[in-house]
Amino acid sequence: MNMALVGDIGGTNARFALWNNDRIESVQTLAAADFPTPEQAVIHYLSTLGLAPDSLSDVCLACAGPVSGEDFRFTNNHWHLNRTTFRQALQLDNMLLINDFTAMALGMTRLREDERIQICPGEPESDSPSLVIGPGTGLGVSTLLPQGNEQWKVLPGEGGHVDLPIGSLREAALWQQLFGELGHVRAEDILSGSGLMRLYRSICALDNHAPNLTTPAEVSTAALAGDPIAEEVLQLFCVWLGRVAGNNVLTLGARGGVYIVGGVIPRFAAFFQTSGFASSLSSKGCMSGYLKGVPVWLVTASYPGLEGAGVALQQMLEPA
């Protein structure tokens, strides 16, 4: 496969790289707000490398949101992408548009040992699915399926929108508080950056504390400094993530392992390692034994979405 372009586009930033000789290079992050269209962002990126808009024939873009049809409208920025218009603007032979968590899942096939921290020990079953789950702007969930011959298939879904599971009386009281605010309470309503703040405010309201923290970073910093309210917030966040991840392992038979991704958990990785995540993951009553031995890793790689976009493009153009 010739040199290609890969992109990982979220609500705020667009990351671009060249896919060359089975690896990414020349990574740049651009603010979506600085460009009226994704085509112009790509043309700007190429120009910084001294490349003309028509210098590449193949592109894969990983985009946040459901991907189907001719048109794609980005959920959290002003960009709109029409496949035909985009291909014509860059004179492309091949354009692949995939969900951002599909790319994230494929990126797990490229991890080095120093790009992940083991949270739960175990041996992955090589022919079983793996779960990829990560709190960020929302809660992303995907399933990675081995196909043999170093080929992979991803089952995208909307697992972040499942109902928030309750496992204790304290959680039930908090759920009632959240239900009064939201009505339907989804996992993503807690397991995301904004969800961390919602959980903090709910605990303060339930226990009659005045909330004095205003950002997720402030909550995590206060928790690590020993603030008891913030510490409970972070602990419950980890416990709920474990419970949701464990439910997914049971549903999918994901004995290939669990990958924790996204930008939230790495900010408090040491806390996460000793939190209630592992126990809540495996506390499934009569099925608790099924979760024993399923390995869990916290992913610390810098650009797994870009890596995954490259893998997706390569699998399309060079099938086994």
Cα–Cα nearest to 159, from 120, 132, 123, 119: 132
- Going by C-beta distance under 8 Å and a sequence separation of 6 or more, which residues neighbour residue 115? 299, 300, 301
DSSP 319: -
- Going by C-beta distance under 8 Å and a sequence separation of 6 or more, which residues neighbour residue 103? 8, 60, 62, 304, 305, 306, 308, 309, 312
Count of C-beta atoms within a 10 Å radius of residue 33: 11
CA distances to 155, 187, 232, 281 from 244, rounded to whole Å, are 17, 7, 18, 8
User: Helices (H), strands (E): how many in the chain?
Assistant: 11, 13
Residues making up the annotated binding site are: 7-12
Q: In the block, which residue shows the tokens 């667009």?
A: 14
Residues making up the annotated binding site for ATP are: 7-12
